[in-house]
Structure 1
Amino acid sequence: MLGVFSSAIVTPPDELVAAGSRTPSPKMTATALVDRFLENSPSAVSVRMGDHGHLAYTHHHESPLQPRSFAVKDEIFCLFEGMLENLGSLRQQYGLSKSVNEVVLVIEAYKALRDRAPYPPNRVVGHLVGNFAFVVFDNSTSTLFVATDQHGKVPLFWGITADGLVAFADDAELLKGACGKSLAPFPQGCFFLSALGELKCYENPKNKVTAVPADDEEICGATFKVEAEPVFAAMQ
């Protein structure tokens, strides 16, 4: 799956910009990246959201345990990969019918986050149990919401294209040609909400997420990690 968004929606992380500047490498534009994905992906589905971004996916080489799905509802676009183990209980929690699948469930969960302020985003993602990665774009509010499961079972990467757009994909090799070293794995157990403008760990939202520069020979230029809780010595 592939999602590309303009700098008006999401500001490129400084760490990814620095990684690309530290080790310059060939890049391509966001349009060329999307075209490349569509050319190499049989029966791909592609949706352009005005000047804001582009979403695309294919069932080609899809894992039966990690299917890809796409849905649009009330101007909310969602790409979802994986499966939720607690889908049944989540349907009940959000008052949804038994026919609702994972991708529609995530849209409804996002709507609860948007409309029931101040509903904590970490709680929304923390209720999801299973292997997953998703990209949600709310066209009505120009909001981007991205998350992965706690164990990183569904790979997700993000990077910066030659023209400064932020791209998300489940294939590092796909982004490597477009983003060069301005590329990193999206950290497991984390979410990005454009309204907040930063990465957060949904299990420990107060813990800072920092980037560690990678070695030059590695595909990715950086790795984002959640800082551990500080350990204080017991008072004697």
Structure 2
Amino acid sequence: MLTVFDKATGNPPVELGLPSIGPEKAKTREEILKLFQSSRPECTIYYLSDGNFMALSHDNENQSHPRSIVVIDDVFCIFFGTLENTSDLRRYYGLPRQATEAMVVVEVYKVLRDRAPYPADQVIKDLQGKFAFILFDARSGTLFAARDRDASVELHWGMAGDGSLVCSHKLNIIREACGKCCAPFPPGCIFSNGSGLMSFIHPLHKVRAIAREDDSGNICGVSFQVDLFTRIPSIPRTFSGQNWADATAVKEGDHY
């Protein structure tokens, strides 16, 4: 799996670009796509606006963590892993038995976008299983990604040489595209290009970037962790239908 979104759309955390990548590692979106296609010629690619794309390959797929992609009403979703409560979610959202995990995720997004400003951290908690997904709403330009709390499924992200946000389940793909400007996507977290990175396990605590330095004092990598010592007193609601993640955070009293 590989997704690449330009800087304006992906809005990657600035901390991803802290390590020095060097000119030989600074690849563009076009170069990244060519590299992926050359090693996985059977992959399915969805070309989006502004040169962005989402690609999926079933090469060396782990049967316990299958990969799938769906497109429903201009909402693209790549899902890999499994949900343990798919049947319950189908009934709750009024979906047919044939609905896959990716279809369930799209329906969850559409409900949050169109009907009510539910807190996304509470909704993602209802997804039980080993999973990661990346969703893009082509109409509103909303990008959303999440990874289960136990990091059961691989998901990495990074910043390419042109500032694009790159995501993949393969570390070697990310390193080839982004050099040192990459990190594991933090478990138990959700990311939106509108509101940034947050933990759905600890929604009232900030997720901070931790820099690693080499022997010379240069930043050689970053990781993202929940800061349990920093509490967010409140996050204002936003009722915009343009970005469902803007309506995710609620005041502290709403969680307890």
TM-score clears 0.5: yes
* Residue 184 (1) aligns with residue 179 (2): no
Q: Give the aligned residue type for 2:9.
A: I
Instruction: State the partner residue of 2:239.
Output: none
Report the 3-state secondary structure (helix = DSSP H, G, I; strand = E; otherwise coil) of the residue aligned with 1:65: coil
Report the 3-state secondary structure (helix = DSSP H, G, I; strand = E; otherwise coil) of the residue aligned with 1:228: strand
Structure 2: segments with no counterpart, 5+ residues: 232-256
1:192-207 map, 5 Å? 192-196=191-195, 198-207=196-205
Deviations 1:146-197 (A, max 9, x none): 000000011111111111111000011111121111111100000001221x
Q: Offset of 1:70 from its aligned partner?
A: 0.3
Q: Offset of 1:230 from its aligned partner?
A: 6.2
State the distance in 2 between where 1:44 and 1:10 align.
Answer: 22
Runs of 4+ in 1 over 4 A off after TM superposition: none
Instruction: State the partner residue of 2:132.
Output: 133
Q: Give the aligned residue type for 1:17.
A: G
Instruction: State the partner residue of 1:121.
Output: 120
State the distance in 1 between where 2:9 and 2:40 align.
Answer: 26
Q: Offset of 1:215 from its aligned partner?
A: 4.4
State the distance in 2 between where 1:48 and 1:186 align.
Answer: 24
Q: Offset of 1:41 from its aligned partner?
A: 1.2
1:126-165 map, 5 Å? 126-165=125-164
1:31-50 map, 5 Å? 31-50=30-49
* Residue 222 (1) aligns with residue 222 (2): yes
More off after superposition, 168-177 vs 46-55? 46-55
State the distance in 2 between where 1:70 and 1:114 align.
Answer: 20
Structure 1: segments with no counterpart, 5+ residues: 232-236
Could you state the TM-score of these two structures normalised by the residue count of structure 2?
0.84
Q: Give the aligned residue type for 1:99.
A: Q
Q: Offset of 1:117 from its aligned partner?
A: 3.0
Q: CA distance change for structure 1 residues 176 and 40 in 2, over 3 Å: closer, same or farther? A: same
Deviations 1:185-219 (A, max 9, x none): 100000001221x11100111110001113449xx
Instruction: State the partner residue of 1:54.
Output: 53
Instruction: State the partner residue of 1:65.
Output: 64
State the distance in 1 between where 2:39 and 2:214 align.
Answer: 28
Instruction: State the partner residue of 2:75.
Output: 76
- % identity of equivalent residues: 38
Equivalent pairs counted in the alignment come to: 227
CA contact (8 A) 1:9 1:52 kept: no
Q: CA distance change for structure 1 residues 215 and 62 in 2, over 3 Å: closer, same or farther? A: farther
Q: Give the aligned residue type for 2:76.
A: F
Instruction: State the partner residue of 1:213.
Output: 211
Instruction: State the partner residue of 1:234.
Output: none
CA contact (8 A) 1:24 1:180 kept: no
CA contact (8 A) 1:42 1:60 kept: no
CA contact (8 A) 2:29 2:51 kept: no
Output the aligned Cα RMSD: 1.9
